């Protein structure tokens, strides 16, 4: 039987959300499916998942489970500021480029103040410059620093970079939000305990990504500064983010934290990206746009090469981050996937 290209088993490099559900998350959902339990989060799975998140971070914190990263970021930021406040973030931050104004909408108008920065990272001086630019009543008052870890450019902030950044944030009385859609990849890259890059250095609220790490759906909002979670459950409900069958958002966290899959998956994705980076480095003419630390590789390819790669069935994004082609690896990216992509790039670059 002949197969069309699309029906051939293929893993893509467009995003880590192209992948399916990992076995540990799937298994936990199956277990959660075996019985009736109370709804709206008043169930043993949600309780256990929140406890496991607390264990993972080795601290008392408030934990909420929502459907996706946009709502996690937007609702967390809304809880951290008033409508007349502003949020300092990188110009490539997901909250700015990919959330359709949700942070502004849910905060009733808090303004995002964009700062540049190499490799998707914000520098301490940029915070200072932004806060100092204006301090009059006519400008929205800076209240939150939002950073992404791992960044949109596939880099990570080191522990000392975080320390310096948050020291500056504290100097100006800013609260700290971390978009951790790929938090696990950052932990895997840095080889540190989760607490070392969150509450211990001064993160107040973390949006901890589950979807891109191998779940069907779901992110955890982790309030290390617990008073910021005051009445947060109402905010989630009003925003349509309170799942009635909450156990299906919570159970995958139980499965993945208990088994360690949350970290294994990220380590796997990072290692696949490292292989891909190494392989592409051996292809003459491929230009790298970022230094890879987590699970994505950014390269500039000649337009016809990118077009022909798509023609051969590969999917990848060219509109994210600083442009160029972004190849994103995930928990089930295999060596064969990586080798096949490298082979196609090599083949097409040779014809240039």
Which chain residues interact with ligand PLP by CB under 6 A? 68-70, 94, 148, 152, 179, 181, 211-212
Smallest gap, in angstroms, from Cβ of residue 135 to ligand PLP?
30
Between 18 and 288, whose beta carbon lies closer to ligand PLP?
A: 18
Smallest gap, in angstroms, from Cβ of residue 94 to ligand PLP?
3
Q: CB of 143 within 8 A of CB of 87?
A: yes
Neighbours of 133 (CB within 10 A): 10
Between 322 and 340, whose beta carbon lies closer to ligand PLP?
A: 322
Smallest gap, in angstroms, from Cβ of residue 151 to ligand PLP?
8
Between 85 and 177, whose beta carbon lies closer to ligand PLP?
A: 177
How is the chain split among helix, strand and coil, in percent rounded to 5? 45, 15, 40
Nearest CA-CA partner of 53 in 41, 71, 65, 67? 65
Q: Which two tokens stand for residue 318?
A: 């060219």
Q: Which two tokens stand for residue 56?
A: 């993972």
Smallest gap, in angstroms, from Cβ of residue 332 to ligand PLP?
17
Contacts 24+ apart (CB under 8 A), 81-84: 81/107, 81/110, 81/143, 81/144, 81/175, 82/107, 82/110, 82/143, 83/107, 83/108, 83/109, 83/110, 84/109, 84/110, 84/140, 84/141
Q: Which residue is nearest to ligand PLP (CB)?
A: 69
Between 103 and 279, whose beta carbon lies closer to ligand PLP?
A: 103
Smallest gap, in angstroms, from Cβ of residue 15 to ligand PLP?
7
Between 24 and 152, whose beta carbon lies closer to ligand PLP?
A: 152
Q: What is the β-pairing status of strands 325-328 and 141-148?
A: unpaired
């Amino acid at each position: 039987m002949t197969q069309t290209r699309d029906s051939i088993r293929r893993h893509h490099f467009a995003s880590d959300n192209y992948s399916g559900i990992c076995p540990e998350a799937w298994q936990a959902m199956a277990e959660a499916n075996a019985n009736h339990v109370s709804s709206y989060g008043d169930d043993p799975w949600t309780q256990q998942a929140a406890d496991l998140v607390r264990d993972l971070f080795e601290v008392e914190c408030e934990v909420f489970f929502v459907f996706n990263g946009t709502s996690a970021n937007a609702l967390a930021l809304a809880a951290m500021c008033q409508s007349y406040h502003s949020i300092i973030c990188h110009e490539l931050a997901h909250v700015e480029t990919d959330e359709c104004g949700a942070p502004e909408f849910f905060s009733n108008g808090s303004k995002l103040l964009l700062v540049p920065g190499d490799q998707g990272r914000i520098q301490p001086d940029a915070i200072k410059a932004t806060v100092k630019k204006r301090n009059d009543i006519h400008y929205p008052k800076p209240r939150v620093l939002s950073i992404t870890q791992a960044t949109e450019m596939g880099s990570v902030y080191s522990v000392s970079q975080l320390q310096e950044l948050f020291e500056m944030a504290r100097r100006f009385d800013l609260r700290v939000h971390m978009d951790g859609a790929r938090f696990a990849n950052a932990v895997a890259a840095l080889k540190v305990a989760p607490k070392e890059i969150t509450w211990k250095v001064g993160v107040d609220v973390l949006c901890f990504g589950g979807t891109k790490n191998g779940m069907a759906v779901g992110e955890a909002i982790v309030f290390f500064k617990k008073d910021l979670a005051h009445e947060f459950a109402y905010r989630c409900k009003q925003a349509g983010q309170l799942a009635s069958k909450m156990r299906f958002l919570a159970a995958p966290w139980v499965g993945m934290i208990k088994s360690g899959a949350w970290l294994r998956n990220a380590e796997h994705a990072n290692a696949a990206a490292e292989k891909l980076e190494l392989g592409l480095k051996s292809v003459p003419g491929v230009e790298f746009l970022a230094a890879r630390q987590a699970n994505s590789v950014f390269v500039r390819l000649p337009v016809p090469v990118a077009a022909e790669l798509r023609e051969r069935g590969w999917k990848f994004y060219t509109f994210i981050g600083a442009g160029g082609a972004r190849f994103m690896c995930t928990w089930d990216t295999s060596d064969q996937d990586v080798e096949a992509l490298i082979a196609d790039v090599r083949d097409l670059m040779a014809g240039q």
